[in-house]
């Protein structure tokens, strides 16, 4: 499991300048509004309330899907590689 703080996601602009985004409320709300799964509902609540959570491979796959469906490419570019590392750890 890997700890991810969704309140401090580092993104880059076109010039490569880095800044930090807080995705915790938006991601938590997106999952909360779209899920029919109780486990995902609890995940949404934890992200919304705590911001920083421990993410395992199955949760990373869920979060990857929601990020790809509901967030712009510059956010996907920053977050999805984190999920990929959790889902497919290097040995």
Domain boundaries, the chain: 2-87
Q: For residue range 3-47, list pLDDT tens digits in order.
A: 999 999 999 989 989 999 999 999 999 999 999 999 999 999 999
Q: Confirm if 47 and 22 have CB atoms less than 8 A apart.
A: no
Query: pTM value?
Result: 0.90
Residue 89 confidence (pLDDT): 86
Residue 24 confidence (pLDDT): 96
Q: Confirm if 47 and 24 have CB atoms less than 8 A apart.
A: yes
Q: For residue range 14-23, list pLDDT tens digits in order.
A: 998 999 999 9
């Amino acid at each position: 499991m890997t700890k991810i703080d969704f309140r401090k996601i580092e993104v880059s602009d076109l010039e490569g300048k880095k800044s930090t985004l807080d995705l915790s409320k938006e991601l938590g709300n997106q999952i909360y509004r779209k899920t029919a799964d109780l486990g995902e509902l609890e995940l949404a609540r934890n992200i919304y309330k705590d911001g920083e959570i421990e993410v395992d491979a199955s949760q990373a796959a869920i979060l990857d899907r929601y990020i790809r469906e509901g967030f712009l490419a510059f956010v996907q570019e920053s977050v999805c590689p984190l999920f990929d590392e959790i889902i497919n750890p290097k040995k």
